[in-house]
Chains A and B, each alone.
Chain A
Amino acid sequence: MVENRPFMTVLTHAMMFLAIIIVLFPIYIAFVASTHEASDVLMTVQGWFGSNLVENYTSVLQSGKSTTGGIPVGVMMWNSLIMALGIVFGKISISIISAYAIVYFRFRFRMVFFWIIFMTLMLPIEVRILPTYHVVASLGLLNTYTGLTLPLIASATATFLFRQFFLTVPDELTEAARVDGAGPIRFFFDILLPLSRTNIAALCVILFIYGWNQYLWPLLITTEKNMTTIVMGIQAMLYVPDAVNEWNITMATAILAMLPPVAVILVLQRQFVKGLIETEK
């Protein structure tokens, strides 16, 4: 602050307060609704918590909602978790080794490989929906965890991030390692991997959120109810023909769907900010 303007200070805090209300309000209303009985939120707005918190969440987790085929939300969350972790581990491991090859070796077609990886940036799933579906279907990967994760783990951003980082690692380290008789594999595991720890942690946070929040891909390739992920599972709860819409159950599911990624951001805030900024560079 440059000068003391009491009015501006008040305005600032008022605006920040407003900002927090805008951000929190939808969540508060959803959480309140999720603690009531279905009939209490059907035609009226509830402003304060009800008494059905434990009951609603237990029933959601254990049996879900009959209209979605009765798949417990617990199962959906498990699917989401496997998918998210699969993407985190898959993406990081294949990116780090390909970046290692591209930075630390000279070999034929190196730049060709680099450009192939670069092209993934320009081909998000939305622009190749049907053909990708056909590939996955013909490989027999529909309704499998492999089908959910494998096509999403190729990523140019993670490879670029590692490449960028490897280029800043001093050459003296490589030379010293070589003088001491370390080969490429030993160098990778004993020196490069430990040095990449903070980058890996940052990527983990970003990729977990990315994986957990996937929507279109699971929608395409899961037709069996018990493979549904939670983020796409909510959608099925919204459109209920000939039945009372149980908003309390839907909102409880929405809260559960955002809980893991939000928890990750709040606990690992530093890594999150670093990851967000690094991957965009």
Chain B
Amino acid sequence: MEKRVVFKNRWLPYLLVTPQIVITLVFFIWPAGQALKQSFFIEDAFGLRSEFVRFGNFIELFSDPLYLNSLKTTFIFSVSTSFLALSTGLLFAVMADRVIKGATIYKAALLWPYAVAPAVAGVLWLFLFSPANGILALTLKSLGYNWNHVLKGGQAMVLVVIAASWKQIAYNFLFFLAGLQMIPKSLIEAAAIDGARPAKRFWTIVFPLLSPTTFFLLVVNVVYAFFETFGIIHAVTQGGPYKATDILVYKVYSDGFIGLDLGGSAAQSVVLMAIVVTLTVIQFRYLERKVQY
């Protein structure tokens, strides 16, 4: 879509785009280019010389058991987080959609965890599950289940998944609720007259009609689990215990920034970049994002 009526000016448009373009080139494009370049080189310990190794860094990366473990961890983490956050968000939205009295209060009460930073959400849940004084950990202990996420990898994973999902429920709730309110009531009434019970109506009418929203949210949730949960991992588990929660974004940080492995970290960055590009393309090409509110 283009404007018919435009202004004519020789230099003004360039002046107007300059700030954004300069910042983008300096802080986005140039560093990304550097990462791409470095991923094909190995630098010596003093950073004096670098050697072109073609795909050496990538081959090394994908034969590194730690990296493969990180891929698997990321997969488990993002699938569990997306599933938990989406299903809870949908459940709450379906319920809120049925409420007539007090709907706005419920909505306001469920909205605001969106504002809580992932790292802060992580800290809150860390406290609840703190083995010595956390209310949930002690409850589990009194039920005979020994909770100690500091030592047990599986439990650490459960903890970060819960914290990450808790923060994301608000977002999913809001979009699902909007999607539900768009479904024509006449369809549901017709099904009710034909004798379909609420559960049947949901699975045969509401859920299929909601699928564009669901698919959109799925992509958003996967992006969230991949990239925005760094704070949770860093604050709560530091990728541990024994790399049980070492997701890709945390690994690229710890290898590059703490381990100072330039080539390896750059190769990891490039892999992540490929993932973002794929997800962005999916988002823009295959998603009908005509959600109306």
A98 touches B32 (CB 8 A): no
Q: How far is the CA of A19 from the CA of B98 in the complex (A)?
A: 14
- Chain A residue numbers with a CB within 8 Å of B75 are none
Question: Is A243 located at the chain interface by the 8 A CB criterion?
Answer: no
Q: How far is the CA of A106 from the CA of B14 in the complex (A)?
A: 10
- Known A-B contacts A119-B29, A130-B262; the reply to A215 vs B135 at CB < 8 A is no
A84 to chain B, nearest CB (A): 11
Within 8 A of B (CB), among A222-243: 231-232, 234-235, 238
A131 touches B96 (CB 8 A): no
A129 touches B257 (CB 8 A): yes
Q: How far is the CA of A209 from the CA of B24 in the complex (A)?
A: 22
- Known A-B contacts A116-B25, A154-B27; the reply to A254 vs B115 at CB < 8 A is no
B230 touches A126 (CB 8 A): yes
Interface 0/1 of A96-129, CB less than 8 Å to B = 0110111111110010010011011111101111
A23 touches B273 (CB 8 A): no
- Known A-B contacts A126-B249, A216-B231; the reply to A113 vs B198 at CB < 8 A is no
Using CB atoms, name the residue of chain B closest to A20: B109
A105 touches B135 (CB 8 A): no
Using CB atoms, name the residue of chain B closest to A130: B256
Q: How far is the CA of A132 from the CA of B106 in the complex (A)?
A: 42
B253 touches A216 (CB 8 A): yes
B5 touches A171 (CB 8 A): yes
- Chain B residue numbers with a CB within 8 Å of A175 are 5
B91 touches A122 (CB 8 A): no
Interface 0/1 of B88-113, CB less than 8 Å to A = 10011001101110000010111111
B112 touches A266 (CB 8 A): yes
- Known A-B contacts A117-B20, A130-B256; the reply to A41 vs B30 at CB < 8 A is no
B27 touches A150 (CB 8 A): yes
Question: Is B59 located at the chain interface by the 8 A CB criterion?
Answer: no
Which of B7, B110, B134, B138 is within 8 Å of A187, CB to CB? B7
- Known A-B contacts A12-B98, A123-B276, A234-B235; the reply to A212 vs B117 at CB < 8 A is yes
Main secondary structure of the interface of B (DSSP, over half): helix
A119 touches B119 (CB 8 A): no
B75 to chain A, nearest CB (A): 17
B169 touches A23 (CB 8 A): yes
Q: How far is the CA of A22 from the CA of B123 in the complex (A)?
A: 16
A77 to chain B, nearest CB (A): 13
Using CB atoms, name the residue of chain B closest to A277: B293
Question: Is A95 located at the chain interface by the 8 A CB criterion?
Answer: yes
Which of B14, B96, B280 is within 8 Å of A122, CB to CB? B280
**B interface bracket (residues with beta carbon within 8 Å of A):** 35 or more
Q: How far is the CA of A20 from the CA of B178 in the complex (A)?
A: 19
B262 touches A124 (CB 8 A): no
Question: Is A247 located at the chain interface by the 8 A CB criterion?
Answer: yes
- Chain B residue numbers with a CB within 8 Å of A27 are 124
B1 to chain A, nearest CB (A): 5
B31 touches A128 (CB 8 A): yes
Q: How far is the CA of A225 from the CA of B35 in the complex (A)?
A: 29
Using CB atoms, name the residue of chain A closest to B117: A213
B19 touches A94 (CB 8 A): yes
B189 touches A26 (CB 8 A): no
Interface 0/1 of A241-262, CB less than 8 Å to B = 0000001001100100110011
- Chain A residue numbers with a CB within 8 Å of B256 are 129-130
- Known A-B contacts A42-B133, A44-B133, A135-B27; the reply to A105 vs B269 at CB < 8 A is no
A231 touches B231 (CB 8 A): yes
- Known A-B contacts A15-B91, A16-B99; the reply to A116 vs B24 at CB < 8 A is yes
Q: How far is the CA of A98 from the CA of B280 in the complex (A)?
A: 22
- Chain B residue numbers with a CB within 8 Å of A16 are 92, 95-96, 99, 106
Q: How far is the CA of A273 from the CA of B132 in the complex (A)?
A: 39
Question: Is B265 located at the chain interface by the 8 A CB criterion?
Answer: yes
Which of B7, B31, B106, B192 is within 8 Å of A135, CB to CB? B31
A153 touches B32 (CB 8 A): no
Question: Is B116 located at the chain interface by the 8 A CB criterion?
Answer: yes
- Known A-B contacts A127-B35, A135-B30; the reply to A98 vs B227 at CB < 8 A is no
A235 touches B234 (CB 8 A): yes
B12 touches A216 (CB 8 A): no
- Closest 7 A-B residue pairs measured CB to CB? A131-B31, A213-B117, A101-B16, A261-B115, A131-B34, A215-B231, A105-B13
Q: 19 A-B contacts, Cβ less than 8 Å apart? A: A22-B166, A25-B128, A26-B121, A33-B127, A104-B6, A117-B21, A126-B252, A129-B265, A130-B257, A131-B31, A132-B31, A133-B257, A136-B27, A150-B27, A171-B4, A185-B12, A213-B231, A247-B127, A276-B171
* B binding-site residues for A, Cβ under 8 Å: 1, 3-9, 12-14, 16-17, 19-21, 23-32, 34-35, 38, 88, 91-92, 95-96, 98-100, 106, 108-121, 123-128, 130, 132-135, 138, 166, 169-171, 174-175, 178, 185, 188-189, 192, 198, 220, 227, 230-231, 234-235, 249, 252-253, 256-257, 262, 265-266, 269-270, 272-273, 276-277, 280, 289, 291, 293
